C-alpha cells in the first residue's frame, strides 16, 4: 500500500502522535513500521535498551533494511557505557517528535519500556542528575558485598521507599540510595514534587495483547534465533567495554545469562533456558503494566488481542488503519 497523504489535525496546539505498545515479541516494531509506511510517519524508539549501539541482536532492534524503509529515530544512538535515564530519553524523544512535525511526518512511538512511555506523555519529577562519583560509590558498595549498608542507610533516610523495595531489587536500591546521597533528600520526597509539564501532544495508543501461551512460544523461538544470529559475540563485545554491573546495558535480559555460559558457569542449553524464562517474566511484567496503566486510562486506544505478524497482517492492519484514520479526519 502506498503512503497516504493525510492532514495532521490539532486540538488546540496539540498535534497527534501514535504509541504502539505491547510486551516483548508481540510484533510492535513490525506494526509501527507498516503504519509509518502507510501514513508518512517515522518510528521513534521507546525501548531503554535499543538506544545502545552494542545491543542490536539481544534487543531485537529493527534491521538495517527495515530502518531504511522509513525514518527511525533514537535507535543505537548511545554507547553502552552511557546511562540513558527516562528524563534524558524524554528530552530526546520530544526533540525528535517536534522535528518530525516540522517535516509533516506522523511520530509513531514504540517500545516496551513503560516508564519511558509514561514519562513522555505525563512528564517526570524534576530530580537532579546523580553525579558519576556517587553512582560509582554505590556500585562499589554493592560489589563488595555491603548491600546491607545500602539498605540500612536507605531505611534511615528514606523509609517510604525502603518499605516498598523488594530485598533483591538492586537497581531500585541503588537508585534510591544515589538520590539520597547526591541530593540529601529522599526519593519519595522528590516524587511528591510536581511533575514536569505533560507533553504538548495528543497520544493515541495501539496496544498488542497476545494470548500468553502464544507470546511465550514466540519469545522462546526468537531467542534461539538470536543465538544463531550472533548473540554470544554481542555479549563478548560488551565484556570488552568493562561496564559497571549497575549499568543498564549490563543488566539487559540475556547478558548475565550468556555471560555465565562464557565464563563456564552454565552450559549453553541452561543459559538459553534461563534467558527464555527471564524474558517470559519480563513480558509478564509488561502485560501487568499495560493493564494497570493503559487499558482503562486512555481516551484514544485500540486493543489487539493477537500477536502482529506477516501471517495475520491482512486481518489486523485494516482495522488499525481504520482507527487511526478516524483520528486524522
Q: Could you state, in order of their start, the residue ranges of all structural domains in the chain?
A: 10-124+198-328, 132-190
- What is the pLDDT at residue 2? 38
Mean pLDDT computed over 235-255: 87
Compute the C-alpha angle 7/114/102, nearest 5°. 25
β-strands 301-304, 202-208: how paired? parallel
Note the CATH number of domain 132-190.
1.10.20.140
The pair phi, psi for residue 23, each rounded to 5°, is -70, 165
Q: Are 37 and 66 in contact (CB under 8 A)?
A: no
Point out which residues pair with 195 in neighbouring strands.
125
Q: Residue for cell digits 486493543?
A: 303
Residue 297: phi and psi, rounded to 5, are -120, -10
Q: What single-letter DSSP state applies at residue 241?
A: T
Measured distance CA(303)–CA(295) in Å, rounded: 8
In this prediction, residues 13-38 reach a mean pLDDT of 96
Q: How many residues does the chain have?
A: 329
Q: How many CB atoms lie within 10 A of CB 211?
A: 11
**CA dist., res. 177 & res. 232, Å (int):** 33
Q: What are residue 43's DSSP bridge partners? A: 72, 108
Listing DSSP states for 167-233 in one string gives TT-HHHHHHHHHHHHHHSS-HHHHTTSPBPPPPSSEEEEEEE---HHHHHHHHHHHHHHHHHHTHHH
Q: What pLDDT score was predicted for residue 7?
A: 43
d(CA 214, CA 306): 9
pLDDT in tens, 287-321: 999 999 999 899 999 999 999 999 999 999 999 99
User: Is 10-124+198-328 in CATH node 3.30.70.1520?
Assistant: no
Is 8's pLDDT higher than 50?
Answer: no
d(CA 64, CA 96): 20
Contact 232, 262 (CB under 8 A): yes
What pLDDT was estimated at residue 126?
74
Measured distance CA(209)–CA(215) in Å, rounded: 9
Place of cell 495475520: 312
Which residues partner with 45 through β-bridges?
110
Core vs surface per residue 154-188: b (16+ CB within 10 A) or e? beebbeebbeebeeeebeebbbbbbbbbbbeebbb
Alpha-carbon span 225 to 272, nearest angstrom: 11
Confidence bin at 6 (pLDDT 50/70/90): very low
Query: Residue 158: which of 184, 193, 135, 187 has the closest Cα?
Result: 187
Residue 50 CB neighbour total at 10 angstroms: 24
For residue 147, give the 3-state DSSP assignment.
Answer: helix
What digits encode the pLDDT tens for the residues 182-194?
989 888 888 777 6
Structure-block grid coordinates of residue 256: 548475565
- Domain 10-124+198-328 and domain 132-190 have a common topology: no
Give 124 or 320, the one with higher predicted confidence. Answer: 320
* In contact, 62 and 72? CB cutoff 8 Å: yes
Is the pTM for the entire model greater than 0.85? no
Q: What is the pLDDT of residue 5?
A: 38
Amino acid at each position: 500500500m502506498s503512503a497516504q497523504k493525510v492532514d495532521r489535525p490539532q486540538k488546540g496546539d496539540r498535534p497527534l502522535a501514535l504509541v504502539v505498545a505491547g510486551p516483548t515479541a508481540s510484533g510492535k516494531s513490525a506494526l509501527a513500521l507498516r503504519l509509518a509506511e502507510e501514513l508518512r510517519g517515522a518510528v521513534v524508539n521507546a525501548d531503554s535498551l535499543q538506544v545502545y549501539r552494542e545491543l542490536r541482536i539481544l534487543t531485537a532492534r529493527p534491521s538495517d533494511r527495515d530502518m531504511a524503509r522509513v525514518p527511525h529515530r533514537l535507535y543505537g544512538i548511545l554507547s553502552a557505557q552511557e546511562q540513558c535515564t527516562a528524563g534524558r530519553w524524554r528530552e530526546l524523544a520530544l526533540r525528535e517528535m517536534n522535528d518530525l512535525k516540522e517535516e509533516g511526518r506522523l511520530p509513531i512511538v514504540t517500545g516496551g519500556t513503560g516508564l519511558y512511555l509514561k514519562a513522555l506523555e505525563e512528564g517526570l519529577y524534576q530530580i537532579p542528575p546523580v553525579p558519576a562519583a556517587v553512582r560509582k560509590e554505590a556500585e562499589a558498595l554493592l560489589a563488595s558485598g555491603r548491600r546491607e549498608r545500602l539498605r540500612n542507610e536507605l531505611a534511615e533516610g528514606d523509609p517510604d521507599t525502603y518499605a516498598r523495595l523488594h530485598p533483591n531489587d538492586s537497581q531500585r536500591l541503588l537508585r534510591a540510595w544515589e538520590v539520597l546521597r547526591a541530593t540529601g533528600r529522599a526519593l519519595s520526597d522528590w516524587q511528591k514534587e510536581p511533575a514536569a509539564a505533560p507533553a504538548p501532544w495528543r497520544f493515541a495508543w495501539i496496544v498488542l495483547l497476545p494470548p500468553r501461551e502464544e507470546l511465550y512460544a514466540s519469545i522462546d523461538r526468537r531467542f534461539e534465533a538470536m543465538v544463531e544470529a550472533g548473540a554470544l559475540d554481542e555479549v563478548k563485545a560488551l565484556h570488552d567495554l568493562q561496564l559497571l554491573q549497575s549499568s543498564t546495558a549490563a543488566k539487559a535480559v540475556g547478558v548475565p545469562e550468556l555471560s555465565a555460559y562464557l565464563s563456564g558457569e552454565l552450559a549453553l542449553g541452561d543459559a538459553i533456558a534461563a534467558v527464555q524464562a527471564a524474558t517470559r517474566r519480563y513480558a509478564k511484567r509488561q502485560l501487568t503494566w499495560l493493564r494497570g496503566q493503559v487499558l482503562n486510562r486512555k481516551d484514544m486506544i485500540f486493543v489487539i488481542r493477537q500477536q502482529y505478524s506477516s501471517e495475520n497482517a491482512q486481518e489486523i492492519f485494516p482495522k488499525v488503519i481504520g482507527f487511526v484514520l478516524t483520528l486524522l479526519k
